[in-house]
Amino acid sequence: MMTTPALLEIRDLHVSADGAPILRGVDLSVGAGEIHALMGPNGAGKSTLAGALLGHPAYTVTAGSILLRGEDVTHWATDVRAKAGIFLAFQYPESIEGVSVTQFLRQAMSARKGTDEVSVLEVRLLMNEWMERLGMDTSFASRHLNQGFSGGEKKRNEILQMALLEPLVAVLDETDSGLDIDALKVVGRGVRAVREARPELGVLAITHYTRLLEELVPDVVHILMDGRVVTSGGPELAAQVEAEGYEGWQ
């Protein structure tokens, strides 16, 4: 009997930056509809993994592979990976003056769908639907991308992108960083709303804190230390980190 490949599979991944090794053999697999949390102290390599998954030029894969639905994407360009269905929600989203949220999403949707152009009407209808679901004011659509946005607004905008681009896998790179409890709940509700619309979406949430995981409730929690996944388990692992820190795995 044929088995369906995982949405995202990371096999023995070694990654360096500026010639220095950071990831030293990461193994991790995210199946359809699963939420995985990756936790670890500062310097463990969490954001390096996020960058490597999207092909950030600052990171060099020296061994191992990244597979998307069984296809090796390790050496694909960033835009090709994004079009294929890997989405990254940034820890610090960039602001782009002169480009409205609507313009940006229209271009991104066209690229993801592989069409020359998605109609303005289609984008606005989808945006209005999702802005309502995410509790966003519709005036948001005409604002310049992340220009003058609060931390919570930037993160809402990332969730809006995730909803409209319909990725196979969403990587949330410390998307809870710098957020207060209310903004964190907004992010959690937003991710849940996207998953309700697309239950097959795989999520890899990279975080320092358990607060986000109270909102998302992961199927699997992985602990990353010194560039390796040292243990994996259920949500109780996150509770253990909250109570005891990372010392037990050092």
- Going by their DSSP bridges, the two strands 86-89 and 169-173 should be labelled as parallel
CA distances from 25 to 52, 60, 176 (A): 13, 13, 26
Closest CA to 172 of 126, 216, 232: 216
CA distances from 193 to 9, 101, 149 (A): 25, 20, 22
Closest CA to 87 of 154, 159, 34: 159
pLDDT at 132 over 80: yes
Q: Which residue has the higher pLDDT, 224 or 104?
A: 224
Q: What percent of the chain has pLDDT over 70?
A: 91
pLDDT at 9 over 80: yes
Strands (DSSP E) found in 20-166: 20-30, 35-39, 60-68, 71-72, 86-89, 96-100, 144-145
Closest CA to 190 of 136, 124, 126: 136
Q: Which residue has the higher pLDDT, 177 or 139?
A: 139
Distance in angstroms (rounded) separating the CA atoms of residues 39 and 104? 31
Compute the radius of gyration of the chain from its Cα atoms: 18
pLDDT at 149 over 80: no
Q: Which residue has the higher pLDDT, 18 or 184?
A: 18
pLDDT at 36 over 90: yes
Q: What 8-state DSSP symbol labels residue 76? A: -
Indicate the domain borders of the chain: 8-249
Q: Round the average pLDDT of the chain to a whole number and report it.
A: 86
Query: What are the tens digits of pLDDT across the range 76-107?
Result: 999 899 889 999 886 655 656 677 878 888 88
Contact status, residue 230 vs residue 237, Cβ threshold 8 Å: no
Closest CA to 134 of 197, 214, 71, 177: 197
Distance in angstroms (rounded) separating the CA atoms of residues 61 and 26? 11
pLDDT score of 42: 86
Q: Which residue has the higher pLDDT, 221 or 130?
A: 221
Architecture of domain 8-249: 3-Layer(aba) Sandwich (3.40)
| 70 confidence band (pLDDT: 50, 70, 90) | very high
Over residues 166-179, mean pLDDT: 81
pLDDT at 198 over 60: yes
Closest CA to 232 of 214, 249, 210: 249
CA 93, 128, 97, 107 dihedral sign is positive
Phi then psi dihedrals of residue 92, to 5 deg: -125, 85
pLDDT score of 98: 73
pLDDT at 171 over 60: yes
pLDDT at 177 over 70: no
pLDDT at 110 over 90: no
Distance in angstroms (rounded) separating the CA atoms of residues 245 and 115? 48
Q: Which contacts (CB < 8 Å, 24+ apart) does range 75-79 have?
A: 78/54, 79/111
Starting at the earlier edge strand, list the strands of the sheet with 60-68.
Answer: 20-30, 8-17, 60-68, 71-72
| 34 confidence band (pLDDT: 50, 70, 90) | very high
pLDDT score of 21: 96
